[in-house]
Amino acid sequence: MNNQQFQIVIADDSHLGFAQIICDEMAASAQARGTGIAKRTPEYIQEKIREGKAVIAFNQDGIWAGFCYIETWSHGEYVANSGLIVAPAFRKGGLARQIKKKIFELSRTKFPEAKLFGLTTGLAVMKINSELGYEPVTYSELTQDEAFWAGCKSCVNYEILMSKERKNCMCTGMLYDPKDHYEPEETIQDFRQHSKLYERFMRIKQWKFLKPFLKKEPINVTRNPKESSAAGKPKSLLHYFFNL
């Protein structure tokens, strides 16, 4: 599958007919992973396509292969690249990374001043985001738009989110702030250095939230000694990730 060539384009009206299969694959993927996901409808996907806020991928034979779209919150101050999905036949071949790069570029073009953010339960998505310059952050740095959080109501982990007063959940928040951010080289280096810790603590987070009555033990994390020159930045991206 690594030899596959894909065409990734900004979706338009000619792609509206793919909305149902996109929604079906999103739901099936979430169910297979056993993770929560905000449900989308075909009508919502079609709306994003009509607005020019989506990218769609096809293989060399014209078969649908993947999709992702843009959402805006807080009057355009925040932008999320949501609904990333790759058709099962084309997974593990690098297509998700290509789609994320394309939707990131489209987001930066359409909303150059906006903060790009996302929530994920997957280490693979964290890696891809890190390659684009995203940093792990606390939920307080994400949009506080009620409409965004309302979208979590269909997620199986919504009760956990609300029990934590929307300060944390099973997902990890990541942010790219065009006015104050690490360079991709830095975030890539950080991810490589701490990927095993990220994986370990994602499991600990799941264990903690699903076992609320067990005694919480302190977690010691060694920070990266390199200090960022950006004003107000922590000594390490881990500072945000482990705010459990």
What's the CA gap between 95 and 93, in Å, rounded? 6
3-state secondary structure of 203: helix
- For the segment 146-164, what is each residue's pLDDT rounded down to a tens digit? 988 888 887 778 888 898 8
pLDDT at 123: 80
Q: How far is CA 92 from the centre of its chain?
A: 17
pLDDT at 127: 86
Q: CATH 3.40.630.30 occupies which residues in the chain?
A: 1-113
CATH fold, domain 1-113, is: Aminopeptidase (3.40.630)
- For the segment 153-200, what is each residue's pLDDT rounded down to a tens digit? 877 788 888 988 888 888 888 999 998 766 667 776 776 666 666 666
**Amino acid letter, 28:** A
pLDDT at 201: 60
- For the segment 192-224, what is each residue's pLDDT rounded down to a tens digit? 666 666 666 666 555 555 555 344 444 444 434
The answer to whether residue 244 scores a pLDDT higher than 80 is no
pLDDT at 40: 85
Its sign, for the CA torsion 127, 38, 80, 68, is positive
The answer to whether residue 35 scores a pLDDT higher than 70 is no
**Whether the model pTM is above 0.75:** no
The answer to whether residue 240 scores a pLDDT higher than 70 is no
The answer to whether residue 118 scores a pLDDT higher than 50 is yes
Do 144 and 113 meet the contact criterion of CB atoms below 8 Å apart?
no
Phi-psi region of 83 (alpha: psi -120 to 50; beta: other; left: phi over 0): left
pLDDT at 223: 38
pLDDT at 47: 97
- For the segment 47-72, what is each residue's pLDDT rounded down to a tens digit? 999 999 999 999 999 999 999 999 99
Is residue 192 exposed (0-12), middle (13-18) or buried (19+ Cβ within 10 Å)? exposed
pLDDT at 213: 37
Give, as one character, the DSSP assignment of residue 111: -
